[in-house]
């Protein structure tokens, strides 16, 4: 490809609307993508070439574990999502619309329902299992806060695969195969990653792992134990909760605590540790019914954790089966008799709210809690005696320095971007949709499923986050849009044309900057675009004995004799390819 014909322009500065995330700015400046709307992007030729190379790596690794590629529609009838219940469980993130006949339709966020529908048509016998299918398809999730360019987009392309087994042992085997294949995919793309335990979320099932790229721009917080290797997303991470001194229950005492509306202010005023206080967090939640034919209810949730801990909204959401949650308003809090900043369940009509208590509260006697009166708190409150917990569960969020649940060492928190996710779905979808097979004994059994996804655009953006410098992108050669960038200087036009033709004939992918532009412009664009190898040809290089050869990630260049150029470049490309493709 000649730069003079390329359908994109480089920008000296990122557009004002671009996020502060480096990958977003660089991809815009280098002409890899353009934004159409919030969280919606067009990939220009260079961006699409890189995206297609990522997809090809995915295909190779999925085929390597016996995957069969299919293609499923992005438009789904609502009926299949209603069969599994997710039509009712997923909130405004789901794209819903009606066709011209008034039928409810879905813009697919993922394809478990479609796979289950295919299963009930195509699979009848245990002899057909195990199998694995996958596709690479557009998805739509109407994220209310798209950010960071491709890292958090609303429309995106995802590789999602689905393992199909007759039992849990088969699922475990295919889950492990995906677990290993995902590391190979990320390694071949040049992106370091770790796997952490994760929340199953809207997918359901019995277990999940997320693959994380560690970076300060990440929205996820991870808890990692360097001693034993445990790692988990903060959403689900457990920890050893520090105990407090046990003592006999004492009588409640009301005390004045002027202007002590926060735990920190309260602990300082009363000269008590934060662990001797109870923190109330108010959430208004839309709660899903337990029964399939039940109705959703909106409820005020009174969540109580110890003052030295923070609430995990994910844990709370899972415990109460929340479809959606939001912070309660002052009016909603006051409507049940509580006073914002000075609230507790003590003395309130608990029929008007759901009281969810962290499991550490029951082991912590005589806590300071709100008196439901501005400027006052209660000493010596105790759950079970002074108020009742509707639900007692682990709803506290693990923090940096908390103790590992396995070995007791202090954990560290790190930020990360989720680049892949795998789920043990079990029979969550197949049982609901009647996707059954006949087993060895002639009995009908639901197919056991796993689900595995990687966002193509997010992976691409994270590679740019990892591989760049002050001048631009530095692509790993496996996914670079081109292997070699030829830059022509005055006097080198004819030689550049011949080398361009020879390299293409040798199977080397070449981008040739043939423009009539200043050398500085060409070199700046070459660095910005990030093609792994640069070859400069001009009268000066030819006088020096050949062409100037330089790797994008290196500062030094060398002169390669013109007659050796094709062999040297081809060997270097192969060497760089091997270095990434042979990683385990």
Is residue 429 located within the same domain as residue 562?
A: no
CATH number of domain containing 258: 3.90.960.10
More confident residue, 202 or 281: 281
Q: Which stretch of 59-68, 114-123, 387-396, 487-496 has the lowest confidence by average pLDDT?
A: 487-496
Read off the pLDDT band of 584 (50, 70, 90): low
Asked whether the beta carbons of 510 and 68 are under 8 A apart, the reply is no
| Pairing, β 40-43 against β 75-77 | unpaired
pLDDT at 187 over 70: yes
Q: How confident is the model at residue 423 (pLDDT cuts 50, 70, 90)?
A: very high
pLDDT (0 to 100) of residue 412: 96
403 falls within a domain:
no
Q: Which helix (H) or strand (E) holds 543?
A: helix 539-543
Residue 534 and residue 429 share a domain: no
Q: Does residue 352 share a domain with residue 205?
A: no
CB 249 within 8 A of CB 380: yes
pLDDT at 296: 87
- DSSP state for residue 8 in the 8-state scheme: -
* Same domain assignment for residues 345 and 325: yes
Confidence (pLDDT) at 293: 66
Q: Which phi and psi angles does 430 have, rounded to 5°?
A: -70, -40
Is 407 contained in some domain? no
Say if 313 falls within a structural domain: yes
Rounded mean pLDDT, 445-461: 97
Domain CATH number, residue 87: 3.30.930.10
Cβ count near 5 (within 10 Å): 9
DSSP string over 338-351: --TTS--STTS-GG
Confidence tier at 555 by pLDDT (50, 70, 90): confident
Q: Which pair of tokens denotes residue 270?
A: 């009363």
Helix (H) or strand (E) holding 235: none
Question: What SS3 state is found at 485?
Answer: strand
- pTM comes to 0.89
Last residue of a domain, one of 371, 397, 423: 397
Judge whether 17 lies within some domain: no
Is residue 583 over pLDDT 70?
Answer: no
Task: Specify the 3-state DSSP secondary structure of 2.
Answer: strand
pLDDT tens across 38-62, in order? Answer: 999 999 999 999 999 999 999 999 9
**Alpha-carbon gap, residue 96 to 81, rounded angstroms:** 11
Q: What percent of the chain has pLDDT over 90?
A: 89
Structural domains in the chain (count): 3
* Helix, strand, or coil (residue 316): helix
Tell whether 558 is covered by a domain.
yes
Please check whether residue 404 lies inside any domain of the structure: no
For residues 306-320, give the mean pLDDT: 95
Exposed / middle / buried, residue 254 (Cβ in 10 Å: 0-12, 13-18, 19+): exposed
Residues 176 and 96 both lie in one domain: yes
CATH number for the domain spanning 511: value is 3.40.50.800
Q: Are residues 387 and 418 in the same domain?
A: no
Report the range of poorest mean pLDDT among 142-146, 255-259, 282-286: 142-146
Residue with tokens 């300060």: 216
pLDDT at 23: 95
Reported confidence tier of residue 15, pLDDT bands at 50, 70, 90 = confident
The span from the CA of 310 to the CA of 358, in Å, is: 10
Residue 477 shares a structural domain with residue 441: no
Is 486 part of a structural domain of the chain?
A: yes
Mean pLDDT of 368-390: 96
Q: Is the confidence at residue 425, as pLDDT, over 70?
A: yes
Using CA atoms, how far apart are residues 132 and 113, in angstroms rounded to an integer?
A: 15
d(CA 49, CA 45) in angstroms, rounded, equals 6
Query: Same domain, yes or no, for 264 and 367?
Result: yes
Domain assignment present for 92: yes
List the domain range (segments joined by +) for residue 189: 23-237+413-464
DSSP string, 244-299: ---------EEEE-TT--SHHHHHHHHT--GGGBEEEEEEEEEE--SSTT---EEE
Residues contacting 435, CB < 8 A, separation 6+:
116, 117, 119, 120, 123, 429, 446, 447
Q: Which residue has the tokens 């996804």?
A: 453
What average pLDDT does the chain have?
Answer: 94
What local confidence, expressed as pLDDT, does residue 20 receive?
83
Same domain, yes or no: 480 and 543: yes
Final residue belonging to a domain, choices 397, 429, 453: 397
Same domain as 60, residue 143: yes
Do 71 and 167 lie in one domain? The reply is yes
Asked whether 403 and 411 are in contact (CB, 8 A), the reply is yes
CA distance 231 to 248: 38
- pLDDT class for 410, splitting at 50, 70, 90? very high
**Do 194 and 142 share a domain, yes or no?**
yes
């Amino acid at each position: 490809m000649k730069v003079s014909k390329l359908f994109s322009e480089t920008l000296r500065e990122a557009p004002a609307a671009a996020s502060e995330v480096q990958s977003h700015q660089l991809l815009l400046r280098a002409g890899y993508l353009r934004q159409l709307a919030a969280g919606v992007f067009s990939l220009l030729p260079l961006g699409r070439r890189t995206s297609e190379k990522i997809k090809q790596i995915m295909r190779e690794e999925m085929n390597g574990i016996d995957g069969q590629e299919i293609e499923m529609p992005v438009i789904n009838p609502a009926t299949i999502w209603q069969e599994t219940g997710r039509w009712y469980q997923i909130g405004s993130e789901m794209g819903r619309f009606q066709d011209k006949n008034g039928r409810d339709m879905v813009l697919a966020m993922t394809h478990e329902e479609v796979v289950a529908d295919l299963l009930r048509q195509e699979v009848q016998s245990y002899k057909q299992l195990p199998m694995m299918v996958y596709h690479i398809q557009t998805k739509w999730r109407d994220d209310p806060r798209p950010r960071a360019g491709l890292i958090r987009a609303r429309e995106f392309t995802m590789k999602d695969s689905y393992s199909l087994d007759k039992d849990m042992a088969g699922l475990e085997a295919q889950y492990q195969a995906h677990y290993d294949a995902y590391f190979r995919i990320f390694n071949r793309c040049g992106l370091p990653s770790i796997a952490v335990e994760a929340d199953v979320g809207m997918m359901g099932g019995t277990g999940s792992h997320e693959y994380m790229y560690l970076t300060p721009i990440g929205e996820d917080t991870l808890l990692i134990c360097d001693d034993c290797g445990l790692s988990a997303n903060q959403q689900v991470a457990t920890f050893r909760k520090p105990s407090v001194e046990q003592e006999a229950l004492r009588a409640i005492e009301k005390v004045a605590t002027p202007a002590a509306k926060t735990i920190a202010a309260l602990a300082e005023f009363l000269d008590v540790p934060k662990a001797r206080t109870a923190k109330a967090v108010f959430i208004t939640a839309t709660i899903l019914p337990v029964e399939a034919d039940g109705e959703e209810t909106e409820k005020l949730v009174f969540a109580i954790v110890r003052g030295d801990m923070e609430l995990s909204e994910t844990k709370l959401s899972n415990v109460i089966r929340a479809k959606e949650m939001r912070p309660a308003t002052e009016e909603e809090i006051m409507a049940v008799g509580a006073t914002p900043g000075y609230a507790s369940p003590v003395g309130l009509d608990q029929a008007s709210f759901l009281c969810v208590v962290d499991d550490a509260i029951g082991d912590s006697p005589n806590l300071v809690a709100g008196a439901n009166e501005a400027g006052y708190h209660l000493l010596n409150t105790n759950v079970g005696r002074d108020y009742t917990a509707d639900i007692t569960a682990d709803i506290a969020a693990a923090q940096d320095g908390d103790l590992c649940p396995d070995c007791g060492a202090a954990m560290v928190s790190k930020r990360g971007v989720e680049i892949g996710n795998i789920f043990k779905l079990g029979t969550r979808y197949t049982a609901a949709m009647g996707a059954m097979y006949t087993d060895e004994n002639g009995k009908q059994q639901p197919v056991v499923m796993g689900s595995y996804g990687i966002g193509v655009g997010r992976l691409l953006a994270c590679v740019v986050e990892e591989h760049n410098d002050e001048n631009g992108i530095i692509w790993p050669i496996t996914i670079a849009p081109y292997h070699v960038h030829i830059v022509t200087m005055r006097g080198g036009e004819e030689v550049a044309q011949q080398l361009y033709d020879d390299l293409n004939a040798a199977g080397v992918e070449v981008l040739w900057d043939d423009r009539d532009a200043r050398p500085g412009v060409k070199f700046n664009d070459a660095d910005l675009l990030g093609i792994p190898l640069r070859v400069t040809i001009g009268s000066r290089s030819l006088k020096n004995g050949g062409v100037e050869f330089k790797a994008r990630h290196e500062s030094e260049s060398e002169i390669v004799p013109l007659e050796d150029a094709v062999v040297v470049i081809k060997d270097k490309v192969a060497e760089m390819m091997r270095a990434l493709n042979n990683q385990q």
